[in-house]
Amino acid sequence: MASAFWLLVVNDYLLVMIGTFWLLATTVQAKGIFRRQAAALLTGILLVWIANFLYLGQWVSVSWLDLTPFAMTIAGAIYVWNLLRLHLFEVVPVARTVIYESIHDAIVVTDLHQRIVEINQAAQQFFAPPPGRQLVGTLLSPLIGEQAPSISAIIEQQAEWRGDTRLVAGGAERVFDLRISTVRGGDQCPLGWLYIFHDITRRWQAEHELERLALQLEERVQERTHALETEMAERQVALVALAESEGRNRAILDTIPDLMVRITCNGGNPCALQVEAVHPDRKSWLHATQRLDALLPANLRQLTDRAVCNQSGHVERTEYDVLLDGEPAVLEARITSISELECLAMIRDITVQRRAELQLRYQANLLDNISDAVISVDNNLRVISWNRAAEVLYGYPATEVIGRPLRE
């Protein structure tokens, strides 16, 4: 019975001693608040050890006095202080192994010969070794494939390195942000290498997709810019052509000989004709004919009556044939009312114009036989000609297009 008691005592003291040494090692290795927590626990248990040794060694003057309960009381006070002030069991250190295994990045530690000595769960899943095969102790180079030479060159230079690398896993290529750093001991001597593989495949794909879309957008912008430049050049050509056409039209208008006549009507009496003004260029008209009424239309009475009745800027227009210097000519009379008893008549020789129209019809016939679409517009960008090729190309007949804005 006594031997069992002493065996139990030895076992208890041995366990407490092991716990004390473990707590001492924890105090030495811990940092910050965790070291203070461990130091408080170690202080309490050391007080109990000292008091118990004093009692067992009979080093106390009062032999029957056991200081161990008093030491336990002090230790309990220290533990209460540890709980309240140092937040024991509230601020708990997380095991580095748990942190190491919970990181989503693949982490591999190798020795100086590139043999794997540590690998976390994420790296195990990424490299996916065959069932029953352990990666620890194997070379890293077969796992990283084509990237092994470049990484080995970096290792030989013993340099810290970070960059993007492509690796094939599970039959699919993935892109990683790879960090390589040296693992050093307490004497700063290199012990191995730390590899951190951060998967950036989705980001890399998104960046390349953005680059592709940016290139497409740039191409479309260039195409649109080229189209706008072409359109502006064509429009400039058209404006130049319109300006030239306008200049020609002005020249034609300046060369058309007009005669201005003011007509005074006396009720039912025949109209009295009075020449208001004769332009110097029109004097040949008077030389060509001795009578001014020979230049007026035969139905002048009816035209002036209608112009007076309508008023409000209404213009009566008529064309008629006359002889000028024995030659047939075509005149145009435009008559408008300027008062209840007065009208203004503009007499214009349109013989040249009619001949020009015949020429234009001939040219229009030529344009109609051209296979290319030909369109002309005036200064207001209204269509003035539309050949047959344009009708076929755009599907609109000339009767619907001529006179309408080109933008429509």
Looking at per-residue confidence, does 222 or 84 come out higher? 222
Task: Give 283 or 162, the one with higher predicted confidence.
Answer: 162
Tell me the fold of 96-199.
Answer: Beta-Lactamase (3.30.450)
Distance of CA 311 to the CA centre of its chain: 63
- How much of the chain exceeds pLDDT 90, in percent? 6
- In terms of Cα–Cα distance, which of 399, 319, 382, 325 is closest to 353? 319
Place of tokens 């004097």: 283
Q: Is the pLDDT of residue 366 over 70?
A: no
100: amino acid identity, one letter: Y
Tell which wins on pLDDT, 229 or 28.
229
pLDDT score of 96 more than 80: no
pLDDT tens-digit series, residues 67-92: 788 888 888 888 888 888 877 766 55
pLDDT of residue 257: 58
Other Cβ atoms less than 10 A from the Cβ of 24: the count is 15
pLDDT at 279 over 50: no
Using an 8 Å Cβ cutoff, are 146 and 217 in contact?
A: no
Relative to beta strand 383-386, strand 315-324 is unpaired
CATH 3.30.450 fits 257-349, yes or no: yes
Secondary structure (DSSP) of 242-297: HHHHHHHHHHHHHHS-EEEEEEE--TTSPPEEEEEE--GGGHHHHHH-S-GGGGS-
Answer yes or no: is pLDDT of 397 > 60. yes
CA 202 to chain centre: 20
Residues in the chain, total:
408
The two three-digit tokens of residue 71, written as one number = 């030491």
pLDDT in tens, 309-324: 776 667 888 888 887 7
Tell me if 380 sits within 8 A of 396, measured CB to CB.
no
Q: What is the pLDDT of residue 100?
A: 67
Token look-up 């009312």 returns 337
Instruction: Give the mean pLDDT of 209-215.
Output: 91
Residue that wins the pLDDT comparison between 356 and 279: 356
Q: Which residues pair with 116 in a beta bridge?
A: 110
253: left (phi > 0), else alpha (psi -120 to 50), else beta?
Answer: alpha
pLDDT at 109: 86
pLDDT band at 255 (very low <50, low <70, confident <90, very high): low
* CA atoms within 13 Å, Cβ hemisphere of 251: 6
290 pLDDT above the threshold of 50: no
Same fold, 96-199 and 257-349: yes
Mean model confidence pLDDT for the chain: 76
Angle at the Cα of 81 from the Cα atoms of 77 and 86, rounded to 5 degrees: 155
pLDDT of residue 217: 92
Backbone torsions φ then ψ of 317, nearest 5 degrees: -125, 140
Q: Where are the domains of the chain?
A: 2-85, 96-199, 203-256, 257-349, 361-401
Strand pairing category for 172-184 and 190-199? antiparallel
Of 337, 373, 328, 390, the closest CA to residue 355 belongs to: 328
H helix and E strand count, the chain: 13, 12
Query: Would you put residue 148 in left (φ > 0), alpha (ψ -120 to 50) or beta?
Result: alpha
- Report residue 213's pLDDT band, with 50, 70 and 90 as the boundaries: very high
Sign of CA dihedral 224, 227, 233, 237: negative
Q: Which of 106-110, 202-206, 355-359, 395-399 has the lowest mean pLDDT?
A: 355-359
Segment 97-147, tens digit of pLDDT: 666 677 788 888 888 888 888 888 888 877 777 666 778 888 877 777 666
Q: What are phi and psi of 6, to 5 degrees?
A: -65, -30
**Pick from 96-110, 113-127, 278-292, 334-348: least confident:** 278-292
CB count within 10 Å of CB 325 equals 10
DSSP 328-367: EEEEEEEEEESSSSEEEEEEEE-HHHHHHHHHHHHHHHHH
Above 50 in pLDDT, residue 175?
A: yes
CA distances to 45, 211, 231, 318, 348 from 221, in Å = 79, 15, 15, 56, 55
